[in-house]
Every structure is written in C-alpha cells, then in structure tokens.
Amino acid sequence: MVTFKVIILGNGSAVPTSFSNPSSQLLVHENKHFLIDCAEGTQMQLLKYRLKLAPINHIFISHLHGDHYYGLMGIVSTFHLYGRIKPLHIYAPKALEALINHHLEVSKTTLNYPLIFNPLEDFEGKDLYSDAVLRIRAFPLKHKLPTWGFRFCELERRPKIKKEFVGDHKPCIEAIRRIKDGADFETKEGELLKNEDITHAAPCPRSYAYCSDTAYHPPLTKYLKEVNLLYHEATFDNSMEEMAKEKFHSTAAQAAQLASDSQAGELLLGHFSARFKDPSILLQQAQAVFKSTYLTKEGNSYSVR
C-alpha cells in the first residue's frame, strides 16, 4: 500500500501556549511532501520531528489569519539560504503574494529559486495540483475571512496483471490493455481465464480533507463526501456553541456531525482553544456523535486508510 499519511506539526488555535503550536501539517503521499498551513514556528517543528524541509515543493495556505501562515516567510527564506534552485509552489489567497514580495523587497532578497504563486481564487472547480496518482482541490469554508479547505484524492488505479499469467501466456500489448480494462482472456487452447483470476485488484482510491477554520457549515458535505480521513477544527466544546457561531469556528460535536453527514471514515480534531490544556472533553463530545474520532497530537502521524 502506498504511503498516505498526515503528520501534525501544530494543532492549537490563535493564542500561543507553552503546550501547543498553531496550525500546520505535513501530508505525505508516496514520496511527495505537501505542507498544509504554515503557522509561526513551522520550520522549527519540522526540525523537532526530524522531517526534511527539502522535499516540500508545494505549500497550501487556507487563509490569512496569522496562526495559519506567519511561518511562511521563514521557510521561503531558509530555502533561499540552502541554495534551493527547484521551484516552490504556494497556493494561497491572492493578497498574500504582495506581502511576500514586500518582505523580499525590503530585505533586498532575490530568491535563488522560482517561487510560483497560485491564488486560490483562480481555482474554483479546477485542480490545484495533479499527477498520475493524486489530485488536490480547494473548496470554500465559512470563516471571517475568505478561507479554503483542501482535499487530496488518489486517482483510480488500474488492476495489476499477475506476473505468472504474463510469463505463461505472453499476452500482446492490446490484450494487456483489454485485461486492465476488465476483460477476460482466451488462451491459445481456447480456455477462458477470468479477469479476477489473472489480475490483482487495484486498491480503492483514498482521500484526505483538511478543514481549517470554519463555522459549522452543513453544505460542506458536498466536498467531503466519503472522505477516508477528515481533519476538522474543533475550537470549542458544546457549552460554547454560541461563541463558536459568533467567531466562525466549530465545536467538536459540530465537526463530528459534519463527518457523520459526509460519511467520512475517520475524523481528526484540532485547532483547540488555548483554554483546553486537556482536550479530552472535546473527544467525548465528538465521539457521542461520530465514534471514529481522534484528537490530533503534535508530532503524531495518521494514516489515510
């Protein structure tokens, strides 16, 4: 099974604490590393957990509240100091581009590498990123500022033909194509071999979705349908539902309701308010609605399965 996991670099909300870092995650798919949000201290968190900076070529910023992007300039600058030459792609709200450029201008820095800025506003209904095995899209959340969530989807894979079959029957290229499309195979002797007997079934495509800051917003199910692993903010507990609404954040139970309505496989909670040194109350309240819920823990990795 191809590696598909998320490593939590920070799961706290905006106010800094001595026991948590604000939002940042490293999503690893096969040998590709994607950074999702980049709060203050993110590069130190990468160092702390012995995660390499160099393989990161794509950074996704959900919105322009500081606890989701204040670490970005540090990483942009470190890449420059390391002598990076390969491009760095940043996907973020449009307004961030001018801010990055201003930082570079005032420090009289000309980056050694191309920084390719992709405004999220330009990608409605389009892929932010795609390759032969993975596709990434953004979708709008409901927050005080324009904010996006991200969904990482594996693409449908074709079945693999069994080696013994190829050795025994030496099928031509056309026959291989038909078998991969699901056809049976007729041997020279006229025996019909069933497709399921000559192939290894392709693994089901998996997906991961990230909902950073958002009010409870049932229409999000449209973007989260049957996601295998959902990360959703859970800033508050049930007693603070009014406050959650006012501040455009969610309670843990609301995150769980969304996971349930989206038929998600598993739910990860994060973006805990600084008042929850022990967020176990959030877990209890979410699990009452959606059993397969877990609290994120900084430094831990969670497989998409």
Does residue 37 interact with Zn ion by CB under 5 A?
no
Instruction: Report in angstroms how near the CB of residue 233 gets to Zn ion at its nearest.
Output: 9
Q: 178 or 245: whose CB is closer to Zn ion?
A: 245
Phi, psi dihedral angles at 219 (to 5 degrees): -60, -10
CB 28, min distance to Zn ion, A: 25
17 burial (CB, 10 Å; 0-12 / 13-18 / 19+) is: middle
Query: Does position 298 bind Zn ion by CB under 5 A?
Result: no
Interface segment toward Zn ion; rule CB under 5 A; list 129-137, 205-213, 216-224, 237-245? 205-213
- The first and second tokens of residue 293, run together, are 């819920």
**Residue 33 is a binding residue for Zn ion (CB under 5 A):** no
Q: Which is nearer to Zn ion, 146 or 159 (CB)?
A: 146
Adjacency order of strands within the sheet including 148-154: 129-130, 134-140, 148-154, 207-211, 229-233, 266-270, 293-295
Residues 249 and 233: beta-carbon distance below 8 Å: yes
Among residues 58, 65, 151, 271, which is the contact residue for Zn ion, using CB under 5 A?
65
CB closer to Zn ion out of 161 and 244:
244
Q: Which stretch binds Zn ion (CB under 5 A): 45-53, 59-67, 80-88, 237-245?
A: 59-67
Q: Which listed residue (213, 237, 266, 298) binds Zn ion by CB under 5 A? A: 213
Residue 67 appears among annotated catalytic residues: yes
Instruction: Look at the block and give the residue holding tokens 């349930």.
Output: 260
Query: By CB under 5 A, which span of 2-10, 71-79, 208-216, 265-273 interacts with Zn ion?
Result: 208-216
Distance CA 211, CA 232 (A): 5
Given the complex with Zn ion, which of 213 and 237 has the nearer CB atom? 213
With beta carbons less than 8 A apart as the criterion, state whether 7 and 26 touch: yes
**Looking up tokens 């979708």, which residue turns up?**
139
Minimum separation from the CB atom of position 265 to Zn ion (A)? 26
Smaller CB distance to Zn ion: residue 58 or 68? 68
Residue 40 binds Zn ion (CB under 5 A) = no
Tell me which residue of 244, 237, 287 sits closest to 266, measured CA to CA: 287
Residues carrying an active site annotation:
67
Contact positions toward Zn ion, by CB under 5 A? 65, 213
